[in-house]
Chains A and B, each alone.
Chain A
């Protein structure tokens, strides 16, 4: 189909009302940035899912980072993490009372920091999905090779298929998924097949350009009711995934249960350092407490696609990017942040 044909197809769709969930935070951002919701038939609804890694990180993880910092360690993190609420405070708030937090753009920046300050102990806030896990594996490899002893990781690494199954099993009314692009580069498309078949729902693996998303949407809409997996991102995603990335992940990490903010523990959906590398772990196991700072926050339902962000009573009133009550309002890729900043569904 040409671009115009795709637009006409999605605008003119007059079948049954359908809900399509995008699971990846980068897709959430790309959908809003391209203004896609307003280009669709009123019978096609897009929902954002649990695909922003910092949004699904429980409060116990933030509390643990602050505890480590309070004991004198330097926390090194990506920007988004510093404003995620813990049970009492965020890293950013704790920084105000003197803990040491450094923001970086690459986990490898921690190597030069650790070398320059050999007496300091550093902890990297290793949060992410399948996409970022190989990078942390490479980091561990470097730390071993260069015999760097003053760096540890506090991991909150999660995997996709388990949470998608969890969303479906919880009774969400979803007719198709835009499967995450970057994750699929690593995992391949096979991981979605069992879920597609179990619930008879189509998956479309998509890139991040507007036209790629429209193509994936067309494919998903045309396949509603069928348990199929389409790969619309051939230029980057192979069915078998990236074998060497998976090898290095499996060398350093093992699967175990993981706590998802607002959703509870999902079996086998986490990755932790293996026993032989546990000396690089700063205490990542058992961080299962999940206290919500503002009890009225409905992030968990937003992440599961049960409500849209504007249905939360705090949205845009008490909860704003400057004063986030829940994690979804923090990151550029958080569902609530994206809806608010881009006025999604407003046009």
Chain B
């Protein structure tokens, strides 16, 4: 508890773990608030991360807490610039583990091009848990208007890679199931940067909507986008990328990969003419090699999502209901 006192012990904790990893002029000044350069339109978001376990195959709490916030900024067409983090440590938290998490966080922030400009640490009673909140600020260029409601009839729907990896990785860890599935937690800076540059013949941004496919999975996210835009969405089961390992894992537990979360995948609606260019841009970006066009935005209608199944039938998809409990027979 001493480390949360605000006195010398707190300074030591901050100095030895946080300041060492997040070395920049703004943070080094150790002021009460960061003063940074701005721009005309900013995007801002915040998220708290309470994952168990703290380290998992392919990632950890530190990396996850950067990816989640950075990707949320990117999905509004912003360029991520600044980030803050607030750690809540329970008494008994493993200091070596904390160092690894902070190191991983710093490495991911560097990869994403964001500067951590402010931070806070609190220590509470408990049993060694570690939680973190991150807030991010990004700059939005003039003329960029990427939003959930903007999908238009005849747009094509693109996903940046395989579905369900993070969900399957975390669940495998929790259930002590041995497999090679890794979390996909990743900052999607490069692919969004490339996507934003694609223009229609009229000079408009070809990407209308971006959304990261996190909790609730593709089914939930696309249901929300369809409802926001008021258009019907049709997707093709055969075209949705799912790794064979995740497919097998989901089959075993009675889960549906369409409703399993990711932490480094996006879905985009893009003008039909520019969709091949967008697909190539994502595939040539880091974390985008398995991208695919999976369907289309149809005429304005009920704002519903329909899946054409591999067999050729149609299935209406809605947002995830409940938690998707495993089946018993």
> What is the total number of residues of chain A having a CB less than 8 Å from a CB of chain B?
42
* Interface contact A131-B316, CB-CB below 8 Å: no
Given A33-B309, A210-B309, A320-B321, A129 contacting B329 (CB threshold 8 A): yes
Neighbouring A residues of B325 by C-beta, 8 Å: 79-80, 83, 331-332
Given A35-B315, A39-B311, A132 contacting B329 (CB threshold 8 A): yes
CB of B6 within 8 A of chain A? Answer: no
Residue A54 contacts which of B309, B314, B316, B328 (CB distance < 8 angstroms)? B328
CB of B175 within 8 A of chain A? Answer: yes
* Interface contact B316-A25, CB-CB below 8 Å: no
CB of A22 within 8 A of chain B? Answer: no
Selecting from A60-68, A170-178, A274-282, A338-346, the interface stretch reads A338-346
Neighbouring B residues of A128 by C-beta, 8 Å: 328-329
Give a binary string over B304-329; 1 marks a CB under 8 Å from any A CB, 0 the rest: 00111111111111100110111111
Dominant secondary structure at the B interface: loop
Neighbouring A residues of B326 by C-beta, 8 Å: 78-80, 105
* Interface contact B175-A105, CB-CB below 8 Å: yes
Neighbouring A residues of B273 by C-beta, 8 Å: none
CB of B34 within 8 A of chain A? Answer: no
* Interface contact A321-B321, CB-CB below 8 Å: yes
Residue A53 contacts which of B306, B314, B329 (CB distance < 8 angstroms)? B329
CB of A19 within 8 A of chain B? Answer: no
For residues 18 through 43 of chain A, which have their beta carbon under 8 Å from a beta carbon of chain B? 25-26, 29, 32-39
Chain B residue with Cβ nearest A127: B328
Chain B residue with Cβ nearest A82: B325
CB of B33 within 8 A of chain A? Answer: no
* Interface contact B328-A34, CB-CB below 8 Å: no
A79-B326 Cα distance, complex, nearest whole Å: 6
CB of B253 within 8 A of chain A? Answer: yes
CB of B256 within 8 A of chain A? Answer: yes
CB of B276 within 8 A of chain A? Answer: no
A24 to chain B, nearest CB (A): 8
CB of A347 within 8 A of chain B? Answer: yes
Neighbouring B residues of A343 by C-beta, 8 Å: 315-318
Chain A residue with Cβ nearest B310: A210
A324-B316 Cα distance, complex, nearest whole Å: 21
Give a binary string over A203-244; 1 marks a CB under 8 Å from any B CB, 0 the rest: 000000011001000000000000000000000000000000
The contact size tier of chain B is 20 to 34
Neighbouring B residues of A210 by C-beta, 8 Å: 309-311, 313
For residues 288 through 347 of chain A, which have their beta carbon under 8 Å from a beta carbon of chain B? 320-322, 331-333, 337, 340-343, 346-347
Residue A34 contacts which of B306, B313, B324 (CB distance < 8 angstroms)? B313
A54-B325 Cα distance, complex, nearest whole Å: 13
* Interface contact A38-B321, CB-CB below 8 Å: no
Chain B residue with Cβ nearest A4: B312
Neighbouring B residues of A337 by C-beta, 8 Å: 321
CB of B126 within 8 A of chain A? Answer: no
* Interface contact A34-B309, CB-CB below 8 Å: yes
Neighbouring A residues of B253 by C-beta, 8 Å: 105
For residues 278 through 326 of chain B, which have their beta carbon under 8 Å from a beta carbon of chain A? 306-318, 321-322, 324-326
Chain B residue with Cβ nearest A81: B328
CB of B92 within 8 A of chain A? Answer: no
Chain A residue with Cβ nearest B254: A332
Neighbouring B residues of A347 by C-beta, 8 Å: 306, 314-316
A105-B316 Cα distance, complex, nearest whole Å: 29
CB of A95 within 8 A of chain B? Answer: no
* Interface contact B324-A332, CB-CB below 8 Å: yes
* Interface contact B314-A35, CB-CB below 8 Å: yes
Neighbouring B residues of A100 by C-beta, 8 Å: none
Given A34-B315, A35-B314, A105-B175, A333 contacting B329 (CB threshold 8 A): yes
CB of A193 within 8 A of chain B? Answer: no
Neighbouring B residues of A45 by C-beta, 8 Å: none
Chain A residue with Cβ nearest B327: A332
Neighbouring A residues of B321 by C-beta, 8 Å: 320-322, 337, 340-341
A131-B325 Cα distance, complex, nearest whole Å: 19
A29 to chain B, nearest CB (A): 8
* Interface contact A346-B311, CB-CB below 8 Å: no
A76 to chain B, nearest CB (A): 13
Neighbouring B residues of A34 by C-beta, 8 Å: 309-311, 313, 315
A129-B328 Cα distance, complex, nearest whole Å: 10
A36-B310 Cα distance, complex, nearest whole Å: 11
Neighbouring B residues of A320 by C-beta, 8 Å: 321
Residue A341 contacts which of B306, B311, B318, B328 (CB distance < 8 angstroms)? B318
Which residues from chain A sit less than 8 Å from chain B, CB to CB? 7, 25-26, 29, 32-39, 53-54, 78-81, 83, 105, 127-129, 131-132, 182, 210-211, 214, 320-322, 331-333, 337, 340-343, 346-347
Q: Can you list 14 A-B contacts (CB < 8 A)? A: A7-B312, A25-B329, A53-B328, A80-B326, A80-B327, A128-B328, A210-B310, A210-B311, A321-B322, A333-B329, A342-B317, A343-B316, A346-B316, A347-B306
Instruction: Identify 16 new A-B residue pairs, CB closer than 8 A, beyond the known A35-B308, A333-B329.
Output: A26-B327, A35-B311, A35-B313, A38-B313, A79-B325, A80-B326, A81-B328, A83-B325, A128-B328, A210-B310, A211-B311, A214-B311, A332-B254, A332-B324, A332-B325, A333-B327
Which residues from chain B sit less than 8 Å from chain A, CB to CB? 175, 253-254, 256, 306-318, 321-322, 324-329
